[in-house]
């Protein structure tokens, strides 16, 4: 599949999702870039801003099986992975699959369940497999997790450990809509005369794998790779930071930036692509020093400082020349 075809399908997917989630083209583009990169996404925002709706809409547009798991304090690991059940007809134990066996899993309010259950996701997210009672089950591909979390509620919640946060390729927030966008939401609801929003299927599971394979062909100049590394390293040396981004962060920068570039109809990476995805990819991997918790310091502010301090690769450092509009790199 050509890059132009991937870009066309990507635009069609975003157009469909925007029928349900109004006015959030850029955050939705970042979510799709993460999917094209083969990763998982954490949607952290206030209630009622379309996190669950976005996940369901992406599953419909991508043609993936969709499962929603509501994370509650009494949720057990077996409720996600599945378990062995005794079958009286066969006089044997049979495995009953849990919600992890799907194409796109919505882990709703992931921070409301204990760490024991949160950790059940780790193997599935990283290894694309689960182990139950010593038996390993490989998950079908593609497999993606979209988790949601509320950033302001702390009572009755269990903050995600850094090891699990690091497994999410990006943490993305939609933010409140503008007055015009909010009015458009109301107008669309009145026009369709029902609660459900229809999202047409654009591709299927095999198509998603083809899209992801096409993203792997994107050209990454060595200077862009070094730029990703320098950004991640700079977060570890920042004066406000207790723990900076791991090497998985620099790798995530490159992977998501490639998906972002393809969605903008380019088969090569630019520093602007890396800058566009830097905050959602790096901010959640940064731990601020405890003495600064009551200040304005945050992962986002650190990423902003790093982007301003780390030198951007110049055109002379790139091994290819930027093409004219509509052209290809030489």
Tens digit of pLDDT at every position of the chain (330 positions): 889 999 999 999 999 999 999 889 999 999 999 999 999 999 998 888 889 999 999 999 999 999 999 998 888 888 998 888 888 888 788 888 889 999 999 999 888 888 888 878 888 888 888 888 888 889 989 999 999 988 776 666 787 878 788 889 999 999 899 999 999 999 988 988 888 888 899 999 999 999 999 999 998 999 999 999 999 999 999 998 888 898 999 999 999 999 999 999 999 999 999 999 999 999 999 988 988 888 888 889 999 999 999 998 877 767 654 544 444 443
- Of 154, 184, 205, the one marking the end of a domain is 205
Q: Does residue 104 lie within any of the structural domains?
A: yes
State the CATH number of the domain containing residue 65.
Answer: 3.40.50.300
Q: Does residue 210 lie within any of the structural domains?
A: no
- CA pair distance 40, 100, nearest whole angstrom: 13
Query: Domain check: are 172 and 113 in the same one?
Result: yes
Query: Domain check: are 196 and 47 in the same one?
Result: yes
Q: Does residue 252 lie within any of the structural domains?
A: yes
pLDDT of 215: 94
Q: Does residue 213 lie within any of the structural domains?
A: no
The pairing of strands 144-149 and 104-108 is parallel
State the CATH number of the domain containing residue 284.
Answer: 1.10.8.80
Query: Domain check: are 7 and 108 in the same one?
Result: yes
Domain that holds residue 149: 1-205
Query: Domain check: are 260 and 190 in the same one?
Result: no
pLDDT of 85: 87
Sign of the dihedral through C-alpha 177, 183, 184, 186: positive
Query: Domain check: are 110 and 259 in the same one?
Result: no
User: Of the candidates 273, 253, 251, which has an alpha carbon nearest to the alpha carbon of residue 264?
Assistant: 273
Sign of the dihedral through C-alpha 43, 122, 125, 163: positive
Query: Domain check: are 2 and 129 in the same one?
Result: yes
Query: Domain check: are 199 and 231 in the same one?
Result: no
- Of 150, 171, 205, the one marking the end of a domain is 205
Query: Domain check: are 326 and 251 in the same one?
Result: yes
Query: Domain check: are 235 and 186 in the same one?
Result: no
Q: Does residue 174 lie within any of the structural domains?
A: yes
How many structural domains comprise the chain?
2
Q: Does residue 211 lie within any of the structural domains?
A: no
Query: Domain check: are 257 and 316 in the same one?
Result: yes
pLDDT of 229: 95
Cis peptide leading into residue 142 (ω within 30°)? yes
pLDDT of 204: 93
Q: Does residue 148 lie within any of the structural domains?
A: yes
Structure token digits, residue 184: 């458009």
- Of 153, 179, 205, the one marking the end of a domain is 205
Query: Domain check: are 146 and 224 in the same one?
Result: no
pLDDT of 160: 81
User: Of the candidates 13, 28, 84, 24, which has an alpha carbon nearest to the alpha carbon of residue 260?
Assistant: 28
pLDDT of 227: 94
Q: Does residue 46 lie within any of the structural domains?
A: yes
Query: Domain check: are 168 and 77 in the same one?
Result: yes
pLDDT of 324: 46
pLDDT of 157: 76
Which residues, 6 or more positions from 224, have their beta carbon under 8 angstroms from its beta carbon? 254, 257, 269, 270, 271, 274, 313, 318
| 303 and 278 Cβ atoms separated by less than 8 Å | yes
């Amino acid at each position: 599949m050509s890059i132009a075809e991937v870009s066309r399908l990507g635009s069609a997917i975003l157009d469909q999702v925007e029928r349900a989630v109004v006015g959030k083209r850029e955050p939705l583009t970042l979510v799709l870039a993460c999917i094209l990169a083969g990763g998982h996404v954490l949607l952290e925002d206030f209630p009622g801003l379309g996190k669950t709706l976005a996940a369901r809409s992406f599953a419909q547009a991508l043609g993936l099986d969709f499962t929603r798991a509501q994370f509650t304090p009494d949720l057990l690991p077996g409720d996600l992975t599945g378990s062995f059940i005794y079958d009286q007809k066969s006089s044997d134990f049979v495995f009953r699959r849990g919600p992890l066996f799907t194409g796109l899993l919505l882990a709703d309010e992931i921070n409301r369940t204990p760490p024991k259950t949160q950790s059940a996701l780790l193997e599935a997210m990283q290894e694309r497999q689960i182990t139950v009672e010593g038996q390993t089950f490989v998950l079908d591909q593609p497999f993606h997790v979209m988790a949601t979390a509320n950033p302001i509620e702390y009572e009755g919640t269990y903050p995600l450990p850094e090891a699990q946060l690091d497994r999410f390729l990006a943490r993305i927030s939609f933010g409140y809509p503008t007055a015009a966008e909010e009015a458009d939401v109301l107008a669309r609801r009145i026009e369709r005369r029902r609660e459900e929003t229809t999202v047409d299927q654009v591709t299927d599971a095999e198509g998603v794998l083809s899209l992801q394979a096409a993203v792997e062909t994107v050209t990454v100049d060595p200077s862009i790779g070094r730029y990703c590394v320098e950004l991640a390293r700079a977060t570890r040396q920042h004066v406000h930071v207790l723990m900076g981004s791991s090497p998985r962060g620099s790798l995530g920068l490159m992977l998501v930036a490639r998906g972002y570039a393809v969605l903008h109809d380019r088969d090569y990476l630019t520093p602007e692509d890396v800058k566009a995805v830097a905050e959602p990819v790096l901010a959640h991997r940064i731990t601020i020093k405890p003495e600064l918790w009551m200040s304005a310091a945050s992962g986002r502010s650190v990423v902003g400082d790093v982007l301003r301090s780390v030198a951007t690769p110049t055109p002379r450092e790139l091994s290819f020349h930027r093409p004219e509009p509509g052209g290809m790199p030489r």
